[in-house]
Amino acid sequence: MAKHKDKAAARPAPTLQEQLPELRPGQSVELLKALHILTREGKLNQDTRRKLKQVNHLVQFIEPLLAEVLAERGDVSLADHGAGKSYLGFMLYDLFFKDKVVGRVSGVETRAELVEKSRALAAQLGFARMDFLATTVQEALTHPDLPARVDVVTALHACDTATDDAIAFGLAKQARHMVLVPCCQAEVAGVMRQHKAFSLSRTPLAELWRHPLHTREFGSQITNVLRCLQLEAHGYSVTVTELVGWEHSLKNELILARKMPTDRGGARERARERLGQVLEALNLRELSQRFAV
């Protein structure tokens, strides 16, 4: 018995990484506690374990984009729209920006109380190159505290048309990369419902308008199709994939857009034409401003 005890005593205490394999090397425990991802005792529960995995997963997509811009121009700026509690911005700062002397993360969020909390947390952690704007994505476009050029634009579940405003922001700020995980968008489905796509009304596809749930989901899909075409028409190469680990959410579509230096083979014009055709076919012409090219 005494032998067993000795053996247990001799075993080294598990490292933090062994206790919490979800943690990235060097990831700040203090930050994760402040974000209430880790409990005060440094533990994860089922929900926060999932959240940590999800955000870390997304961070892995964004880090190489930041590194690429930084290597090219010696600086890098990122704007996160509909930032909420700024999990994404804080974790990116912690894992990528913290050890560098340049680079800036700006969180855009309408809820002033969340912005205040984020400002206080950034000050507490000494994350000096983070700022938070209590404003809408739309207003952020002309906000004096944001630079004329923003390299990377992110919008993670930014509500309704905030993703579209984030795209407009990225286009105006000549973003090199946009990383978007859209939320539900009601605008397109609303217009579709109003006009019931006359051109389809005599085809079996009229079934899409029979059940409001189908119209809504179809509207959501078409919205993302239009967003991708809009980005392509502006010279971005677009990849659409699934955000692994978000299976619990229907909204797990990840749109990655990279600005291309040249227009190869008239891709921009083709996307522009196709966008017009989709708007026409679904009787969504009144949304041409929303998806402007």
Interface residues with ligand SAM (CB under 6 A)? 82-84, 87, 108-111, 136-137, 156-159, 162, 165
Nearer to ligand SAM, 208 or 290 (CB): 290
Are 285 and 275 a contacting pair, CB within 8 Å? no
Nearer to ligand SAM, 56 or 209 (CB): 56
CB of 193 to ligand SAM, least distance (A): 22
The residue nearest ligand SAM at its CB is 84
Nearer to ligand SAM, 161 or 230 (CB): 161
Task: Please enumerate in sequence order all residues whose Cβ is within 8 A of that of 52, keeping only pairs 6 or more positions apart, or say none.
Answer: 22, 23, 32, 37, 44
- Cα 244-249-252 angle, rounded to 5 deg: 45
Q: Is the dihedral of CA 114, 116, 120, 122 positive or negative?
A: positive
**Helical packing angle, 267-281 and 212-233, nearest 10°:** 160
CB of 157 to ligand SAM, least distance (A): 4
Nearer to ligand SAM, 167 or 271 (CB): 167
Q: How far is CA 166 from CA 28, 87, 88, 136, 233, in A?
A: 29, 18, 16, 10, 16
CB of 37 to ligand SAM, least distance (A): 11
CB of 287 to ligand SAM, least distance (A): 17
CB of 155 to ligand SAM, least distance (A): 7
Nearer to ligand SAM, 158 or 255 (CB): 158
Return the closest-CA partner of residue 187 out of 290, 283, 278. 290
Nearer to ligand SAM, 156 or 229 (CB): 156
Return the closest-CA partner of residue 80 out of 155, 162, 30. 155
Are 60 and 89 a contacting pair, CB within 8 Å? no
Nearer to ligand SAM, 58 or 233 (CB): 58
Nearer to ligand SAM, 18 or 63 (CB): 63
CB of 259 to ligand SAM, least distance (A): 23
CB of 70 to ligand SAM, least distance (A): 23
The span from the first CA to the last CA of the chain, in angstroms, equals: 77
Burial class (CB in 10 A: 0-12, 13-18, 19+), 187: middle
CB of 101 to ligand SAM, least distance (A): 27
Are 291 and 279 a contacting pair, CB within 8 Å? yes
